[in-house]
Amino acid sequence: MKKSSRLGLLRDRDFGRLLAATALGQLGDRIVFLALPLVAITALHADEFQVGSLTAMTTAGSLLVGLPAGAWVERMRKRSVMIGTDLARALVLMAIPMAWWAGLLTIWWLYTVALVHGVLTVFFDVAYASYLPHLVGRGNLMEGNSKLSAVRSVTSIGGPTVAGPLVGLVGAPVTLLASSIGMAMSGLLAITIRKHERKPEPNGRPRLVREIREGLKFVVKHPSLRAIMLGDAIFNLFLVVYQTMLLVFLDREMGLQPFGIGLVLSGMGCGALLGALVATKVSGRVGQGPVIWLTSLATCPLTALMPLARTGWSVYVAAIGLAALSLGGVVRVVAQSSFQQALTPDRLLGRTSATARFVSWSGVPLGGLLGGASGSVLGATGTLWIGAAGMTLSVLPALLSPLRTTRTLPAEKYTGQPLKAGSPNP
């Protein structure tokens, strides 16, 4: 049912609880994003390739379980999957400070925790994306995605701002306790959501391969969804190449302390928050399709400011480029998520989400390894140049697809027949 008041979905108590759970879980996740690599860099004195390998382990779950996760999640209640994976991730993260206190922490321990945490995150993300249409209804998807993105953006500011001083005060390993607590509280809060799903009806004998193939076929055959996936795959590959050496660059070449690194990453969160606040308005003015490629074209080249920076104030000027990247990224993701959710039948939501994630994230582990290898050969600065160039090229699939001129969300489900560029229902 469409919400007509200015508060919109915020009047819905269950959506408010989902927002609060999202804030707590994302706060924990943002602390992990800063603290986990810093455990390797500062506590274990890992080299560039080991840092890149840690990034690869963090995201390898998408390759290991990315496709079957969608089919498995569709057989379960999405809310239950979200609760279970949140609580499990909280326990897994506690293993790092416990190992640190016991004197057992090694780079291989970090690799293991990163891999298990990443696999659990795949299941959480698939369930989360599939649960939103059930909770708010398809008519509220743009508003729901925008508000959730705003909350995630706020935590992108708060996470590094909290994590930076904590790392300086108690060390990176112990800081991960805050991540564990945030994810545990997120799972417990999600338990209080009153709107329950029906248990999915078994559709005959489960056939995992057939179910995976059906979800993959739906996404690949649709020209706009295919373009979104390919663009995301290119963007994510080079974003990870960039991010893998960003902390190394800030720590070792710019000489920033954890608090300064936290400020730079908080600037990215500020950009993301602004993007969430203007996403609906920008998409309405520019068009649902054009906004996907225009935001990337306008913001990705600005990431080249960072490798141009020198020790001192210029690194904070360069951080504006990262803030712009986050702003454009959130506007693009809100448009893409709403587009995909509106287009996909309920029974395929989990598989479509998992398929899109699998393809879009398939290059992420490779990006971590390439970033580490490039950092070893070219240094952190050279690797940042490569990442900035690759992210800018990610605009091409959307620019060459019907998204170039599609201005509105699809009004009805896709039938399987490709539509002409410029159609309001691609």
CA pseudo-torsion sign 111, 112, 117, 120: positive
User: What integer pLDDT is reported at residue 251 of this predicted model?
Assistant: 84
For residue 25, pLDDT over 90 is answered with no
For residue 411, pLDDT over 60 is answered with no
For residue 402, pLDDT over 70 is answered with yes
Predicted confidence band of residue 157 (pLDDT cuts 50, 70, 90): low
Instruction: Report the range of poorest mean pLDDT among 269-278, 288-297, 334-343.
Output: 334-343
For residue 9, pLDDT over 80 is answered with no
Which amino acid is it at 124?
A: F
Structure tokens that stand for 337 in this block: 């998520």
Burial of 169 (0-12, 13-18, 19+ CB in 10 A): exposed
What is the C-alpha to C-alpha distance for residues 232 and 238, in angstroms, rounded to an integer? 10
What backbone phi and psi angles, to 5 degrees, belong to 64?
A: -70, -45
Contacts of 415 (CB under 8 A, 6+ apart): none
The secondary structure element, H or E, covering residue 286 is helix 258-286
Give residue 4's Cα distance to chain centre.
30
3-state secondary structure of 374: helix
What is the C-alpha to C-alpha distance for residues 261 and 267, in angstroms, rounded to an integer? 10
User: What integer pLDDT is reported at residue 218 of this predicted model?
Assistant: 77
What is the C-alpha to C-alpha distance for residues 242 and 382, in angstroms, rounded to an integer? 10
Instruction: Report the range of poorest mean pLDDT among 22-26, 356-360, 408-412.
Output: 408-412
- B/e letters for 178-208, b = 16+ CB within 10 Å, e = fewer, are bbbbbbbbbbebbeebeeeeeeeeeeeeeee
* Per-range mean pLDDT, top range of 157-161, 165-169, 245-249: 245-249
Per residue in 78-132, pLDDT (tens digit) is 888 889 999 999 999 999 999 999 888 899 999 999 999 988 988 888 888 778 7
What is the C-alpha to C-alpha distance for residues 87 and 196, in angstroms, rounded to an integer? 19
Q: What is the mean pLDDT of residues 378-387?
A: 92
User: What integer pLDDT is reported at residue 364 of this predicted model?
Assistant: 75
- B/e letters for 317-343, b = 16+ CB within 10 Å, e = fewer, are ebbebbbbbbbbbbbbbbbbbbbbbbb
User: What integer pLDDT is reported at residue 202 of this predicted model?
Assistant: 60
Predicted confidence band of residue 242 (pLDDT cuts 50, 70, 90): very high
Q: Are 188 and 90 in contact (CB under 8 A)?
A: no
- Residue 10 CA: distances (Å) to CA of 158, 218, 331, 383: 21, 33, 20, 43
User: What integer pLDDT is reported at residue 4 of this predicted model?
Assistant: 46
Q: What is the mean pLDDT of residues 53-75?
A: 77
Per residue in 325-347, pLDDT (tens digit) is 989 888 888 888 777 777 776 66
For residue 391, pLDDT over 90 is answered with yes
- Short-list 332, 309, 314, CA closest to 391: 332
Q: Are 215 and 73 in contact (CB under 8 A)?
A: no
User: What integer pLDDT is reported at residue 200 of this predicted model?
Assistant: 65
Contacts of 164 (CB under 8 A, 6+ apart): 34, 258, 259, 260, 261, 262, 263, 265
Structure tokens that stand for 54 in this block: 């840690």
What is the C-alpha to C-alpha distance for residues 108 and 128, in angstroms, rounded to an integer? 30
For residue 264, pLDDT over 80 is answered with yes
Per residue in 167-191, pLDDT (tens digit) is 777 777 888 888 899 889 999 998 9
**pLDDT, the chain, mean:** 80
Predicted TM-score (pTM) above 0.75: no
For residue 59, pLDDT over 80 is answered with no
